[in-house]
Amino acid sequence: MVILTLNCGSSSAKYQVYDWEAKDILAVGIVEKVTLGGSFISHKVKGREEITIEHDCPTLTDAVDLIIKTLTDPKIGVISDMDVIKAVGHRVLHGGDKFTKSVIVNGAAMAAFNEVKDLGPLHNPANIMGIEAAQKVLPNVPHCAVMDTAWHQTMPPESFLYAVPYEWYEKYSVRRYGFHGTSFLYTAKRAAVLLGKDPYDTNLIICHLGNGASVNAVKNGCSFDTSMGITPLEGLVMGTRSGDADLAMPFYVMRKTGMSAAEMENALNKKSGLLGITGKYADRRDIQKAKLDGDKRALLAQDMEAHRVKKYIGAYQAVLGRVDALVFTAGVGEFAAFMREKILEGLEGIGIEYDTPANKIACTRNTESVISKAGSKIPVYIIPTDEELVMTEDAYALMAGTYDVHTKFTYSFQKKDYVNKGRAEGLAEELKKKPELAKYIARPR
């Protein structure tokens, strides 16, 4: 049985093909520059070199069709025909407060996604179009929606409400929703395994650091507070998003410049953050290189980003009381040792002591790592996220009728002996080149 997962954006469609019986990934890939012209697919099959094929995709339907044709191609594909695919899992950014768990897509679900799409204007329309496109290409299999916001529906009112007129919440659903929920679910469950604790007796601070970034306070195994808000704009300094700012600031700038509301929204989402500070770069690798070349604004951008993350770590420690572990995940969290170092420096006073050699070496997606000193009161883990696996397992369980909200459902990766086959194979090869990494592999207690 094969399960396909799709993550459709406004100009891209990312996919993974998973063999449920073998518990292994068959292929991954992405179609880029959809609707923009010059589109292409990057396709990687297990055990083969990645290939790139140019193919015009003026719509998301064309992109999904290209994915299916690539997967079933006799030479470069991995499945014989579309009948092998038994379910499709879709990422949906914003489910509002209507969903506490993943669902099979039906008319009511699509109506709900459309109802809240104004809360996620940069993502939800593309997510909806991606589902519709996939339903056209694969009309006879169940399509399942996995919402980024569902994980955070356990937050209490003191966490999710804003101190604005209460009727805004009642009439317009103005509240904190939070995002990156699928990533937080995976890393929270894996952290509990590493700690040897019941997941519902585990308190964590998880830093999902990528181009988009957020921090999650997990109390007794459930989301208790998070840095992103009604949209993904609030919280940390991100690649192109401002994160936290004085709410009066946009109005001041609009009066000074004559900018429209749409122009301001675009500036805060796409021209701010690290790009806004450096004036050139949104990618941390470019910023690090520029900093080493003496670019003072690149250094400032790094300092601002680290400062904001530190503030949230301290705040969430106060909110949680007891913290069992600090976790880094996502692209920057997993690979940018220089950013982790900046964030962790000076946290000894709150019980977090990092190991410099461990932090420098542990930059891999092939294993979970521990980068704290042996005597650190709070251990620090790097847990490579696996949102696609959560989507796959949710889709299978929904199809099989065994799925439920995460507090009543057990994932395969919650087992102490869980092994990701692809990552295990990658780790074996990586250890040949970097044997010192073995010292910092995190193992269940």
Q: Would you please indicate which residues are annotated as catalytic (active-site) residues?
A: 148
DSSP class of residue 309? Answer: H
In angstroms, the CA 84 to CA 148 distance is: 27
Coil vs helix vs strand at 285: helix
Specify the 3-state DSSP secondary structure of 370. strand
Report the C-alpha gap between 306 and 329 in whole angstroms: 15
Q: Check residue 160 and give left, alpha or beta (phi > 0: left; psi -120 to 50: alpha).
A: alpha
Could you tell me which residues are beta bridge partners of residue 145? 90, 103
250-279: buried (b, 16+ CB within 10 Å) or exposed (e) per residue?
A: beeeeeeeeeeeeebbebbbeebbbbbbbe
What is the maximum alpha-carbon separation in the chain?
Answer: 61
3-state secondary structure of 429: helix
| Amino acid (1-letter code) at residue 31 | V
DSSP, residue by residue, 287-355: HHHHHHTT-HHHHHHHHHHHHHHHHHHHHHHHHHS---EEEEEHHHHHH-HHHHHHHHTT-GGGT--B-
